[in-house]
Amino acid sequence: MKRDTSRVGGPTTLTEADDDLDTAFDALSDPDCRRILAAVDEPMTTSEIADDCDIALSTAYRKVERLSETPLLTEGVRFDPSGDHAAEYSRGVTDATVELTDAGVRLTMESEELGASLAAFDTPGVSAD
């Protein structure tokens, strides 16, 4: 359920000739996927998503997998001190814009995720040694 992480961190632009554009639009056309995207403003496990969205757990797994193939949903890990770690998901984009151009359709999705991660690691005076 992992997507290409090279797309994380800045605007992601999908164009008409891009298969990812169809994948993103297909996911957005699904009411369950839209409900999931609305629910995951904070990281949630698939079980939590199923409960919050009132959908079957098996359906939640399928929809999360579908969304994870796009920049719309990102996967992380919820660490548990007992070692029972779980995958958790959150909205991968903060904004999406659809444009109709002379060249076709363009979907641009903005994300602040990488910038926030880099800021957390950019701590002057702290050494890993």
Q: Where are the domains of the chain?
A: 17-92
List the 104-110 sheet strands across, edge first: 12-15, 104-110, 95-101
Q: In whole angstroms, what is the distance from residue 52 CA to residue 24 CA?
A: 22
Per-residue pLDDT of the chain (129 residues), as tens digits, is 444 444 444 577 766 667 778 888 899 999 999 999 999 999 999 999 999 999 999 999 999 999 999 889 999 998 888 888 889 999 988 888 888 888 788 888 887 654 443 333 333 444 444
* Residue 25 to residue 83: CA distance in whole angstroms: 37
What class, spelled out in words, does domain 17-92 have in CATH?
mainly alpha
Distance CA 24, CA 112 (A): 19
Q: How far apart are CA 41 and CA 44, in angstroms?
A: 9
